Structures are given as C-alpha cells and as structure tokens.
Amino acid sequence: MKVSKRAQSVPSSATMAVDTKAKELKAKGVDVVGFGAGEPDFDTPQYIKDAAIAAIKSGKTKYTATPGIPELRKAIAEKLLKENNLTYKPEQIIVNIGAKHSVYESMQAVLDEGDEVIVPTPYWVTYPEATKLAGAVMKTVETDPKNDYKITPEQVKKAITPKTAMIIINSPNNPGGFTYTPDELRAIAKTLEGTNVMVLSDEIYERLVYDGTKFISFAALSEDAYKRTITINGFSKAYAMTGWRLGYVAAPIEVIKAMSRLQGHMTQNPVSFVQQGGLVAFTDPNNEVENMRIEFEKRGKFMADRLNAIQGVKCPKPTGAFYCFPDVSAHFGRTIGGVKINNSMDFAAALLEQANVALVPGGAFGCDNNVRLSFATSMELITKGIDRLEKWLKS
C-alpha cells in the first residue's frame, strides 16, 4: 500500500518514542524511573468528571456546533477577560480536540505554501511538523543559554524576511521550563509593529508559573499585538485533562471562521460531554489547580537543585511548565558503561539502558546540548531517578 510523501515526511514524536521504550522495559519488569511524559501525574478533579458523567447520562451525546457549544465559547471568553485582560467575543473562539489540534488547525488556516515561520529553539516537537504540513518553512532561531534560551528582539528583527508570516512564542515553555517576562514580550511585540507577521502564542502552561513569575498573554501586550495574535490554550495541563482532548483558540474573527470551516470537515466538533467537563473546569471550586501548581513548584525547585549539584550539569531554574532542561554537554565525548556519548540521543539511550532512567534528548527540541526531564512525577521518584543519574554520570 502506498503511503503519501506528506505522511512519510513526518517522523513519530521523539517524546513519545522515549516513553514507549520506557513502557516496554517496564512491561518486562524493569524498574524504570520515567521523566519523559509531558502530562500531570494528578487525576482530573472530580467535579469535572462528574459534569461529564452527568452530561452522558442526560443524553448530551450528539454532534454539537462545529466550533464548540455556545456556553463553552462564552465561558472561555469570560475567562480570557477575567484572567488575561483580553476582550474576545465568543465568535472569536473555537474549541478543538486539544491544543495540539489547535496549533495544527490554526496553521492550516493561515499559512500558505512557502510562508516562513520563525521558531525559536528549544521548541515543542509538534511545531516543525505542523509548519511543514501547512506547506510552510520553519526558520529556527538558536537562542542563547545565557539569555535563558529566550529569543531577543534583535534576533526576531534579523530573522524577519519578506516571506515571514508567523512567529511562534511559547511561554511558559516546553521543553525549556522558562517564562518570558512581560517586558521581554513587550520588546518582541514592538519589533513586530509595522510588519505582517502573525504571532502564534501557545499559552497552554499559563497556570503553571513559579517563584512569583508573572504570566501575560501576548495579545494583551498592546492593540497591535492583539490584532496579530492567535492565542492557543487548553485544559490538558492546568486541569490534568490530557486524555480528554480539549483545547481552544482565540483570534481575529476571520481566522476563527477559516478554522471552523476546516474543522467542519476534519473532526466536526470536540466530544460533546468533554465540552461539558470543560465548561465547569474554570470554576475550580476546591482550588485544585492552585494546589497542583504549588506541588509542581516544590518539585521543580528540588529537581533543579539536585541537577545543578551534579558535576557537568547546568540547569536553569524552571519558572514555568513542568520541565527541567539541563545542559549536559560537558559529558559528551565520555564513554560510560562502554558506550561513547556524543550527543543528547546517545545520552538518553545509554541512561535508559544502563541506569533505567527515561528522559528526552534535547536534539528533538533543537537543542542537542540538553535533555528534558519532566517533574510531573512524585518527589520520591524524582529523588530515585536523580540519584541514579548522578551515580551513572560518576561511573
């Protein structure tokens, strides 16, 4: 059977590959400590489950409006106004099957063949593939670890060409664990003024910020930023709802209309009763979102401190999301357990094989000096995994 060139051009997700290998080892009875997964280890709060179960029981099991049920679009608009200081009409919002789908569909809606998309490194693994599938060309910009891996306004200016259609800003960042300050974003927004460059602002980790870090939506920076921004968000990370598949986009009305037309032929609508879960999620009656955030904050600080105490490991303190992204390149060139470590992939493979710790090679995110460790796991497992990593690097 023939497979299209388009499908052949897309590799399987590197983050999932490590996870799969770790699961295989686990299935064989090996005690693997997994730092690979990008999802909260907490269960979805009960009030959200209850709402979805009640929706099934009451027969909310039919097709819904393509861009999502009106009540949910309205609730999202209210959330954006209250929490993000953003004024969107419900018609400017579309609900999708997860933020991953939101990214894919918005690129399909606004990019043309040959358009350029500026993607700072490190980047989330889906951006290159979604860009390519939209016929556009990814222009990566290598960031400086000394600037906490954040793109500077000067770099943005330099990267813009007549073909630039979009820049992706992901703050808080996966895999970097950093968050742009409002001033840093303002400076980038200023650089874009007078251009036709759209901003795809992926804000999926907005609730997970640490140490007093302030989150600001890109579209809230100025009137100009509002007009050029496609805001991506969803329920997966803040509400521990990864398996529910629920995300959304807020953008200028013409973008939402185009996405809605595409969605009508691709997925029709997000799952009816899942939308009912999303509708109540924002109420957070028991402060569970904040409690999860507090726990992540403790774990992130602990993990980064432990990593920085290991010789040849340099880890910026995470200010958002749930990832540590240490530079481990000081160990490249070494032979550990008979295996020569030349890059992040060798590092991750040998660590998993020899010390049974799963993490993700930074090469998958465009930063081969680094590896990504998720701290969406218990303190006990963080301790166990870092102990193993430390011992392995000393061996």
Ligand X SMILES: Cc1ncc(COP(=O)(O)O)c(C=O)c1O
Number of other residues whose CB lies within 10 A of the CB of residue 202: 27
Nearer to ligand X, 104 or 226 (CB): 104
Asked if 228 and 197 count as a contact pair (C-beta separation under 8 A), the reply is yes
Task: Give least dist CB 251 to ligand X, A.
Answer: 16
Task: Give least dist CB 281 to ligand X, A.
Answer: 13
Nearer to ligand X, 90 or 98 (CB): 98
SS3 270: coil
Longest CA–CA span in the chain (Å) reads 62
Asked if 116 and 163 count as a contact pair (C-beta separation under 8 A), the reply is yes
Alpha helix locations (H) across 43-171? 46-57, 70-84, 99-110, 126-133, 153-159
Task: Give least dist CB 242 to ligand X, A.
Answer: 5
Task: Give least dist CB 365 to ligand X, A.
Answer: 10
Task: Give least dist CB 151 to ligand X, A.
Answer: 15
Nearer to ligand X, 251 or 393 (CB): 251
Task: Give least dist CB 217 to ligand X, A.
Answer: 15
Task: Give least dist CB 280 to ligand X, A.
Answer: 18
Number of other residues whose CB lies within 10 A of the CB of residue 345: 18
Asked if 122 and 325 count as a contact pair (C-beta separation under 8 A), the reply is yes
Interface contacts to ligand X, rule CB under 6 A: 38, 98-100, 124, 170, 174, 202, 204, 234, 236, 242, 247
Q: Is the peptide bond before 122 cis (omega within 30 degrees of 0)?
A: yes
Asked if 102 and 248 count as a contact pair (C-beta separation under 8 A), the reply is yes
Nearer to ligand X, 88 or 104 (CB): 104
SS3 364: helix
Spell out a b/e string for 322-338, using b for 16 or more CB atoms within 10 Å of the CB, else e. Answer: bbbbbbbbebbeeebee
Nearer to ligand X, 40 or 385 (CB): 40
Asked if 171 and 179 count as a contact pair (C-beta separation under 8 A), the reply is yes
Nearer to ligand X, 98 or 366 (CB): 98
Nearer to ligand X, 176 or 316 (CB): 176
Q: What angle do CA 268, 270, 271 make, to 5 degrees?
A: 110
Nearer to ligand X, 296 or 392 (CB): 296
Calculate Rg over the CA atoms of the chain.
21
Task: Give least dist CB 334 to ligand X, A.
Answer: 31
Taking CB atoms, the residue at the shortest distance from ligand X is: 98
